[in-house]
């Protein structure tokens, strides 16, 4: 049975729905109002969180929980994009940037210095996200009265993977980790405390400045910025420097 209100279906607030699908945080949930097409967000710790949750619980037929693109799925988008980068040096930097915790933030920081590839990433990610939204609406059998600003989205084509010039069984990040371990093995035990202290310093200062080159200063986030939620892979990885996709 399809979910609709009136003869033409639900008039969806596409901008808010798009943002809800981008966000992937354990502290926030979003619900689509099947009567008016608006989004109801519940943020844990906010003063009205309990009241909003009670409203949703009391109207289960009216509010439908939004299933955002998972962190792992968005990470796979990033991995596929990196393999399509033709410039070897940039691809190696991106491969290093997506290795380990903080991957989304480092990936974005590297792309700030490469506007053409950054725009290509936005376009690719936008297409995948919009297709995810469209698939969810179809799966939930929701009829909409208004066409989204991005229109109908076909199944996104796979990016063409650029072969690596030097085949290797190890990712660049793993090569660097192995080299670091080998160096530590050669350092006398008496010299390890300062070495460990320096490594802790590098960890705490943040890795983005170590990926090569001076990156442009990050601008302050605006209310129109979209977020890419990743609680499982990153601790502070909100997309505060990305413009809302529908505005692109």
Q: Is the pLDDT of residue 247 over 50?
A: no
How far is Cα 45 from Cα 50, in angstroms, rounded to an integer? 9
How far is Cα 163 from Cα 169, in angstroms, rounded to an integer? 13
Q: Is the pLDDT of residue 227 over 50?
A: no
Q: Which residues contact 160 (CB under 8 A, 6 or more apart)?
A: 84
Q: Write the DSSP symbol of residue 64.
A: E
Give the strand pairing for 39-43 and 63-65: unpaired
Q: Which residues contact 193 (CB under 8 A, 6 or more apart)?
A: none
- CA nearest neighbour of 181 among 202, 196, 169: 196
The pLDDT confidence band at residue 218, using thresholds 50, 70 and 90, is very low
| Rounded average pLDDT over 2-26 | 80
Residue 183: per-residue pLDDT:
75
Do residues 203 and 188 lie in contact, with contact meaning Cβ atoms separated by under 8 Å?
A: no
* The overall pTM is greater than 0.95: no
| CA 169 vs CA 164, 172, 173, 175, 201: distances in Å | 11, 10, 12, 10, 30
Q: SS3 for 151?
A: coil
- CA nearest neighbour of 88 among 163, 168, 159: 163
Strand ranges inside 25-168, DSSP E: 28-33, 39-43, 63-65
How far is Cα 166 from Cα 180, in angstroms, rounded to an integer? 21
The pLDDT confidence band at residue 216, using thresholds 50, 70 and 90, is very low
Q: Which residues contact 229 (CB under 8 A, 6 or more apart)?
A: 22, 23, 24, 25, 28, 68, 71, 237, 238
Q: Which residues contact 71 (CB under 8 A, 6 or more apart)?
A: 24, 229, 230, 231, 232, 233, 234
Residue 208: per-residue pLDDT:
46
Number of C-beta neighbours around residue 235 at 10 A: 10
How far is Cα 96 from Cα 90, in angstroms, rounded to an integer? 10
| Rounded average pLDDT over 63-88 | 92
| Rounded average pLDDT over 126-146 | 94
Q: Is the pLDDT of residue 109 over 50?
A: yes
| Rounded average pLDDT over 182-208 | 74
Residue 106: per-residue pLDDT:
92
The pLDDT confidence band at residue 84, using thresholds 50, 70 and 90, is very high
β-partners of residue 41 are 30
Phi, psi of 32 (to 5 degrees): -85, 125
Q: What is the CA radius of gyration of the chain?
A: 22
């Amino acid at each position: 049975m399809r979910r609709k209100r009136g003869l033409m279906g639900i008039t969806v607030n596409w901008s808010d729905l798009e943002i809800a699908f981008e966000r992937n945080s354990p502290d926030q949930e979003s619900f689509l109002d099947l009567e008016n097409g608006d989004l109801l967000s519940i943020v844990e710790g906010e003063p009205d969180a309990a009241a909003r949750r009670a409203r949703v619980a009391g109207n289960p037929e009216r509010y439908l929980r939004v299933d955002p693109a998972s962190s792992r799925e968005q990470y796979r988008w990033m991995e596929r994009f990196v393999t399509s980068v033709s410039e070897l040096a940039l691809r190696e930097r991106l491969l290093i940037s997506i290795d380990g915790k903080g991957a989304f933030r480092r990936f974005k920081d590297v792309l700030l210095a490469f506007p053409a590839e950054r725009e290509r990433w936005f376009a690719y990610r936008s297409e995948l996200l919009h297709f995810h939204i469209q698939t969810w609406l179809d799966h939930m059998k929701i009829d909409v009265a208004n066409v989204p600003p991005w229109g109908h989205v076909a199944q996104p084509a796979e990016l063409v993977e650029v072969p690596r010039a030097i085949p290797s069984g190890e990712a660049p990040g793993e090569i660097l980790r192995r080299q670091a371990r080998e160096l530590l093995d050669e350092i006398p035990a008496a010299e390890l405390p300062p070495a460990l202290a320096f490594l802790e310093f590098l960890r705490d200062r943040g890795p983005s400045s170590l990926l090569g080159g001076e990156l442009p200063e990050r601008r302050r986030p605006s209310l129109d910025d979209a977020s890419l939620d990743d609680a499982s892979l990153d601790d502070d990885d909100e997309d505060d420097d990305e413009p809302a996709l529908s505005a692109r």
